[in-house]
Amino acid sequence: MGTDKKITKININDIPCYCSIGIASEEKKMGQQLIVDVTVEIDSEKVSKTDSVSDTVSYVDVYDIVQKVGQSQSFSVIEFLAEKIASDILQLSLIISAKVKVHKPHIPYKCFRGNVSVEVERRK
């Protein structure tokens, strides 16, 4: 018999997160809505046998962390925001890794078209 853990990926996508972010002071003052995608890997050994929500990670807890971090301070760059979200998610029990992708759909620069995103992946 192997000693491999049962690993499950949970994806929570398109989380709206309104925060104060940007380089220019006007941009920070106005704030903007970002979109956050989160993928966590969990040790699912126990939940695969119990079918109990207490043996897994609550999607709501992950959502709440995204909101709390986004509103916790003013940010200059989405790289730092993504890092903070991943770090806080890793504090949840059962989490093995967290991948956070932050989309910034509106860039306040004349003639800029497109969507910018940053993705970080961190492990315990």
**Residues composing the chain:** 124
pTM comes to 0.91
List the chain domain ranges. Answer: 7-123
Class of domain 7-123: alpha beta
> Are the CB atoms for 10 and 42 separated by under 8 Å?
yes
**Which tens digit of pLDDT belongs to each residue from 90-108?**
999 999 999 999 999 988 7
**Which tens digit of pLDDT belongs to each residue from 50-74?**
999 899 999 999 999 999 999 999 9
DSSP string spanning 11-66?
EEEEEEEEE-B-SSHHHHHH-EEEEEEEEEEEE-TTHHHH--GGGS--HHHHHHHH
